Amino acid sequence: MSAGRRAGLTAVGAALLAATLVGCGASEPVPEQAAAAAAVGEGGTTYPLTLANCGQEVTFEAPPQRVVSLDQGSTEILLSLGLEDRMVGTASWTDPVREDLAEANAGVPRLADEAPTYEVVLDTEPDLVTASFGRHFVEGGVAERSRFTGTGIESYLSPTDCDGDTSINGAWTARTSPLTIDALYQEIRELAQIFDVPGRGEALIEQLERRREAALKAIDASGLTVAFWFADLKTPYFAGGGGSPNLLATDAGAENVFADLDDDWVATTWETVVERDPDVLVMGDLSRRRWPGDQASEKIDFLESDPLTRNLSAVAEDRYILLHGAELNPSIRMIDGLEELTEGLRSFESAQ
């Protein structure tokens, strides 16, 4: 228990004891309402706290003290909430940490650039494991959620990965309705509640929403079509109509040429891309080097040299927008991506 939390509980306990002595005598038991008041955290969260989370119930008796985050998106939310002192491990990075979070992140151990093993996570002795994508919580991933629960470790999956009670990336299924920004704000709000810092959560949401509204001001990209290419040169991985890139396009008023496909991301062919011929190509510029085409420079070299793709309108007109991989995932970096997307679309609007 932290010194601040211990001091807060001591003050609450002293006040309750004084009220009990005055109202009913020292020999009488503490009233139920006084016991409930003692279970309220410093920020206003009442414990035990139980939340419905992607088809499971998660319960916290107190704010977690040792958390492992399995994805960059979850990590950057925790850092933005000022919880670096509770973080004992991170993993699955596509890009450098957001610049304003670099100092806070510097002291947090990185367990792996990709997904860590269950044993590596267990060695950190966490009381909570968070993830942005459900693929970590299935057989063949880091570990099923039940395995963590069996060792007394709670787990939390981002609502951005949940379609009702189903994990999109855990069950490899399509969404029944497209992702909305509210799912991201729900994640921020719930993590802030879990860690008893609800005020920080609301402040972060307000900041992100102000930036979002500013990015969308005076943008009208209704005449432009776009396609979002994440990675892979041979079987390109493009954004469908379910996930965060489609949300960015929709917010900006542009049309995602693969919006008719329900999946967040789809593996397609270059013949299909040429057939749909987007006005603008939004490309992931990833810091990882897992597959050919992870970096934007490799993507552009391919597009401009391949006899099929060099005839694309976006290639002929040099209409490229480059985003970090993290900005194409459902996370606080979506707002960074929206700012860069709208800036790029505005420049193409003015050139029309």
Q: What is the pLDDT of residues 213-238, one digit of tens each?
A: 999 997 888 889 999 999 999 999 99
One-letter-per-residue 3-state SS of 67-122: EEECCHHHHHHHHHCCCHHHEEEECCCCCCCCHHHHHHHHCCCECCCCCCCHHHHH
Query: 218-351: which CATH topology?
Result: Rossmann fold (3.40.50)
Strand partners, 225: 255
Placement of tokens 């959620």 in the chain = 145
If phi over 0 gives left and psi between -120 and 50 gives alpha, with beta otherwise, what is residue 182?
Answer: alpha
Using DSSP bridges, classify how beta strands 166-167 and 56-60 pair: parallel, antiparallel or unpaired: unpaired
pLDDT in the model for residue 234: 94
Same fold, 49-213 and 218-351: yes
Residue ranges per domain, the chain?
3-38, 49-213, 218-351
* Rounded distance between C-alpha atoms, residue 14 and residue 352, angstroms: 70
* Token representation of residue 67: 């958390």
Consecutive 10-residue averages of pLDDT for the chain (352 residues): 34 35 34 48 91 97 98 98 98 95 98 96 98 97 97 98 94 92 98 98 98 92 93 95 96 96 94 97 88 90 97 96 96 97 87 52
Q: Which helix (H) or strand (E) holds 238?
A: strand 237-239
What pTM, to 2 d.p., does this model score? 0.87
pLDDT in the model for residue 42: 79
Query: 49-213: which CATH topology?
Result: Rossmann fold (3.40.50)
